[in-house]
Homo-oligomer: A and B are copies of this chain.
């Protein structure tokens, strides 16, 4: 049960933080169609996150955070009145977030964003496709819906990779640079966490180690057509063997959360 809650948080946080990053494109996209598309993707991911956060909440994941994120001695105040999804989103500190670090990275320009989206959606699609067979019916159902959404996200990203990679000289350079910048964060996607391993053995979760072939297949198809080169850059290292799934993030997450959580934390008694 604790493992399942942790696993729901992992999948939820990936979507939640990715959605927050994408929402940062609002009013900044290169074309109105892209405003609409990026918002769509952000909304899909936000929807996935909400279901998974609620599930994690039902499994008890929100309880440790209901007293507020602060020092326990500030205990005169009652438990937070918010829904589980909001307690988990707004009153967890960064160290309790379980997302892979790829999703929290600065999206940079549109080229880097597209590279990020291609990798992220190919990986999550492969993951969700397998998760439709999960022994946990809720996860299987979430995955079923997510597969449709992620297929669109991946195709959207792939089309833009082609346009930018095989567009102008400038766009080719920028697209390749975007891919290069994203690359160090790819390896972590395939590192199984102990929770994932245990739940995969129980037929509930997906071992991400097995997803590499499917992501590679997408990249091997898209990148050469887009005249792009698969980067050869070292993966970012873990910190003492721990990465995003263990709550050890990049410096980017703290700043992202500072903004995301600021208003909710200024009014812990409030519901909205």
Instruction: Give Cα A254 to B258, complex, Å.
Output: 12
Chain B residues with CB under 8 Å of A259's CB are 255, 258-259
SS of A interface (majority): loop
User: Residue among A73, A262, A267 with the most chain B CB within 10 A?
Assistant: A262
- Classify chain A's interface size: 20 to 34
Is A270 close to B, CB under 8 A? yes
Query: B266 and A70: CB pair below 8 A?
Result: yes
Which residues, 67 to 87 on A, are CB-close (under 8 Å) to B?
Answer: 69-71, 73-78
User: How many chain copies does the complex carry?
Assistant: 2
Q: How far is the CA of A255 from the CA of B267 in the complex (A)?
A: 16
Interface positions, chain A 45-101, Cβ under 8 Å from B, are: 69-71, 73-78, 93
A268 at the interface (CB under 8 A from B): yes
A110 to chain B, nearest CB (A): 20
Which residue of B71, B78, B269 contacts A70 across the interface (Cβ within 8 Å)?
A: B269
Is A197 an interface residue, CB under 8 A from the partner? no
Contacts of A265 in B (CB 8 A): 265-266
A227 close to B (CB within 8 Å): no
Please name all residues of chain B whose beta carbon is closer than 8 Å to the beta carbon of A20 when the two chains form the complex. none
Partner of A267, one of B70, B76, B258, B267: B70
Docked-complex contact A71 and B267, CB < 8 angstroms: yes
Q: Which residue of B lies closest to A76 (CB)?
A: B76
Interface residues of A, Cβ cutoff 8 Å to B: 69-71, 73-78, 93, 254-255, 257-259, 261-263, 265-270
